Chain A
Amino acid sequence: MVAKLTLSTKDIVLMGIGAAMYAIFGSATFFIPVGGMNLRPAIAIVTFFGAMYGPIVGFVVGALGNLLLDFTWGSFWWEWDVGVGIIGLFPGIWWYLRDGQIETSKDLLMVAILGVIGCFVGLFFAGFVDVIIGTPFEIAIYAWALPAAVTDAIFVAILTPIFIQAVNAAKPKLLEEE
């Protein structure tokens, strides 16, 4: 059986809230030096939503969240918004194949691997669009896409499984309080 790709009301709300969360964490951690680099751990939020609620939710959280983040810096680069959306789409593939059940350690591993692949596919997509628009290849690929993809991939690989485990563990408690 394969999970349905129709959107429930909860998915609609989660897309909006996830995007807002990504924008807040993205701007809050923009200049935080972790291990000597300026990194964006918020990217793991995108893969988390992709893994837990499917590719469409993941894509919208990434693309809409990055769009909001862009606006706070007063810019608009649609190719990077789509790129971050693609990052959210990839872990959703495993969600689709597993019928929405992401629980075992094998699931966590597959989600992390797909998330890492997504980082490279999404950000290199954005880099290549920039090359087509007119940025020199060295800058778009080596200075923008590659470092971003590598650091994002590290965050995705480490943080996404932690988030999924924590939220899965909290699920029974969430229901109790209702």
Chain B
Amino acid sequence: MIETVILLSVLGAFLSMDITMFGQFMISRPIFAGPLIGYILGDIQTGFWLGMIVEMMWINTVPLGSSIPVDLTMMTVLSVSWTCLHFKGSQDGAIFALAMAIPFAYLYREIDIGGRNFNTKIMHWIEKGLEQGKEYRISLGLYSGLGLFLLRAFIVYAVFMILGGLIYVNMKVYIPVTLEIAFKKAWYYLPVFGFGLVLHNFKNVVRFPFFNRKK
């Protein structure tokens, strides 16, 4: 169990790194991260379904300028992991896990903001170094920022996965039947909410390009 948590935390940290820190190859997006974690834990269906729901409902969430959005990778990785580790194949368990993972993802956003504030200190350290002719601080500072991010994300993933997992398992047992039915229904309803949101997102096609091109 502990080996699985460590593996998932390392993987989660690397996936989260893709959001802003390195590359932006979109491996951090829920539609990729969800099935990947599900595949590793032997339940690609749950991984895909949760990833699809998060991807569509948070379709417009990307880091623009100085805004720090909620970490969708953490939301997906935590919910898929909790479900696959404790209630594999359970639809209501999966939706409950997602409902529980959202506050954790928001909490991580605050931790991430703190980390980025620390990056400002590293940046000033590099600038001071440049004034003294210490050019090596550019690479060292940048790799340190990257390393600290990975370490921070790994620790947070591991703690949230263990503590959140314990809370999840204990609360799931006491969920009343009516709520279980609601979660089972939400398994099918949530993608439809997502389809509507995606259509809303695309509706700003104000002109039909083949006939309305600017002269």
Q: Do A and B bind each other?
A: no
Chain A residues in the interface with B (C-beta under 8 A):
none
